[in-house]
């Protein structure tokens, strides 16, 4: 317990001031920044080398990304061209199938017409063969 040690407020205040003064002297005793100092020059050189390496890496990364983007664009263009060609071929095949179906329908219709005409001709022939009432009873 500090109040039992006989420390007064003024003593504690003086001790704190002395501690602050000692810290300030210690800080001021350190050498200031000297650009000609070999350690400072070495640190700055390392920092500059790191920055230059970062710039080079960023440039390489950007170049790689651009190449990948170009490759992806080419791939997409090729896929789109293949898809368009596939659609064109499918359209041609559909048109050919439709044409074949139309021809088949025309042929079936022609055959139906021939059958109908044959039935009509047969009916006329039967009517001709039928004797009239005067011919029958003479």
Compute the distance between CA of residue 127 and CA of residue 76 in angstroms, rounded to an integer: 75
pTM of the predicted protein model? 0.44
Compute the distance between CA of residue 117 and CA of residue 110 in angstroms, rounded to an integer: 10
Compute the distance between CA of residue 114 and CA of residue 107 in angstroms, rounded to an integer: 10
Q: What is the pLDDT of residues 27-58, one digit of tens each?
A: 887 766 777 888 889 999 999 999 999 999 99
Q: Which residues of the chain have a pLDDT value below 70?
A: 1-6, 31-32, 131-138
The DSSP output letter for 29 is: H
């Amino acid at each position: 317990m500090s109040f039992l040690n006989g420390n007064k407020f003024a003593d504690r205040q003086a001790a704190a001031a002395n501690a602050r003064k000692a810290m300030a002297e210690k800080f001021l005793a350190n050498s200031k920044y000297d650009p000609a100092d070999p350690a400072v020059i070495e640190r700055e050189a390392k920092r500059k080398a790191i920055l230059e390496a970062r710039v080079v890496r960023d440039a390489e990364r950007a170049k790689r990304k651009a190449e990948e983007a170009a490759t992806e664009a080419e791939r997409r263009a090729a896929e789109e061209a293949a898809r368009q060609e596939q659609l064109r071929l499918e359209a041609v095949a559909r048109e050919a199938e439709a044409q074949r179906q139309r021809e088949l329908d025309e042929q079936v219709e022609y055959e139906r017409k021939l059958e109908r005409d044959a039935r009509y001709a047969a009916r006329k022939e039967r009517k001709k063969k039928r004797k009239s009432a005067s011919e029958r009873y003479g």
